[in-house]
Chains A and B, each alone.
Chain A
Amino acid sequence: MNRQFVLLALGLILTIPVFQSPIFSKQFKPLPGLHVVKSLPPNMVAGSTYEWEVSFVNPKSESGLMNVTLEVAEKKTVVGFGEFHVEGILESYDNPPREHHTLTLTFTETGGGIFQSQALISERFNLIIKLEISSVPNLMPGEYTFTLTITVN
């Protein structure tokens, strides 16, 4: 009997590390319903502000921590600190009644052209992230890639 309890305890203890292993915890599930509502224009001008909107469905019924990362990169030049500025709003809708919630997303530039924001999300239905991306007027012209990564834990 003691042996069975030892095995049971051992199994419980092993459960957490097993599921924190790369095979499980790093294998993200795709964010359901992720799509672009409003695209960035293919041609931009330095100094101007552009909007980018993406929508997805909160996959969890309980509260979750949402991480949003925007990375701006250019092929030939290094994007410097302060060359871009990002503001964001998180909009969400309940199902039903369709109550509308808005939350300001504060982005911090953690590296040249890398912006991160975190928010707790509790609503279960549609979520829309609205970004306003602006650049300095003396931004080097070039081909810039904007990568928006969203994770919900």
Chain B
Amino acid sequence: MQRKKMLIAGLAIALLIGVASAALISYFGQVKMTAIVKQAVLLDGKDVTEMPTIEETAKVAGGQSFCRYHWLQSQTSVPVTVLFETAYDPGLWDNEITTTYTTTITESSSYDDYVIDSQRLVGLYVGLTLNDLLAKDLEYTVDVTSNPKFAPNINIWITSGGTTYVLQAWGKDWTGTGPHRVTFSDLVSLVAGYGATVNPSLGGANTINGGHAKSYGSPPYYYYDNLDDLKLDWGTWKATFVEVRAQAGAAGGQVLRPVEFKAAGITIEVPDSDTFTTVTLQPGEFLPFYICYKFDLLIKADTYYIYSTVKPAS
């Protein structure tokens, strides 16, 4: 009898243990995943980890101004408002430097002489679309005022979807002191990938864009035989704004001075209404813009560091 009671008691304890343990069991699961998160808006195709600072230099006199071309590309699926800020070092007393951000063309008369080192560029940011250029009779004149034995090149730079193509007036005789003039029809010879060193030797059988252009070299350079083929391919590029640049030869040391830019019916100026300090990019939007610096006539001669920051406002 005693043993029977003990057995019952033991069973009762075992039952209670079972009930208690069942109530206390926790179920656990974990899922882990790693993702590379990219920046929402790229400046000139780069994010903050690739490009802490874009450094640009220019020598200007009081009263002059110049602009620099940049572009923003939204990569995100929501609208993003970006904020433009500018700081000066040394600080300004009376707004001796005015920095504006604009999506429209800058004034052509803002360039002074630039000493061009090897592969350095002097740009004229004409703010025209390719279609505009196609319809206009472009003329761009550059004066070579020193070291004339190294010929400059004159190019149109086309930024499209993050890639820049160089349209170069290849084969013209640029030697000697200028002024040298290039027309739109001169700019049909070569389209090269961004940063490519132009190589005139043709070869290879690869073609792009329906066989209009032949490619050669690595990275490929695209050669157009005639203007009509080039015009056909322009329609396949989503280019918006183009830039006309004078480029020094490999030896450098030239002083180039853009003399004149002509395109029929075009007035080159900076409308105030198109300047902004914030802009909202729609999903996937590509926004070319210019940072323009204007220096007061009475500005003290010095080296000025101008810091422009472009960042999402929220």
Spell out A's residues near B (CB within 8 Å).
4, 8, 11-12, 15-16, 19-20, 24-25, 28-32, 34, 36, 39-49, 52, 54, 56, 59-60, 135-153
**Smallest beta-carbon distance B294→chain A, Å:** 29
Complexed CA–CA distance, A134 and B38 (Å):
13
Contact pick for B31, options A36, A45, A46, A142, CB 8 Å: A36
Q: Does B205 contact A (CB under 8 A)?
A: no
**Smallest beta-carbon distance B16→chain A, Å:** 6
Q: Which DSSP category, helix, strand, loop or mixed, fits chain A's interface? A: mixed
**Smallest beta-carbon distance A114→chain B, Å:** 14
Q: Does B21 contact A (CB under 8 A)?
A: yes
Complexed CA–CA distance, A141 and B40 (Å):
9
Complexed CA–CA distance, A43 and B47 (Å):
15
Residues of A within 8 A of B34 (CB): 42, 143-146
Residues of A within 8 A of B76 (CB): 45-48, 137
Contact pick for A25, options B24, B27, B33, CB 8 Å: B24
Would B31 and A12 count as touching, CB distance under 8 A? no
- Among listed B5-13, B106-114, B169-177, B181-189, interface-contacting one: B5-13
Complexed CA–CA distance, A57 and B242 (Å):
59
Answer whether A24 and B24 are a contact pair too, CB < 8 Å, given A4-B6, A46-B40.
yes
Instruction: List, sorted by A's number, 19 A–B pairs whose CB atoms are closer than 8 Å.
Output: A4-B6, A8-B12, A19-B17, A20-B24, A28-B25, A30-B28, A31-B27, A40-B33, A46-B39, A46-B40, A47-B78, A47-B80, A48-B40, A142-B49, A143-B36, A143-B37, A145-B33, A147-B31, A147-B33
Answer whether A15 and B20 are a contact pair too, CB < 8 Å, given A25-B26, A44-B37, A141-B49.
yes
Would B13 and A43 count as touching, CB distance under 8 A? no
Q: Does B77 contact A (CB under 8 A)?
A: yes
Closest residue of B by beta carbon distance from A142: B37
Would A28 and B6 count as touching, CB distance under 8 A? no
Would B29 and A45 count as touching, CB distance under 8 A? no
B227-254 interface with A by 8 A CB criterion: none
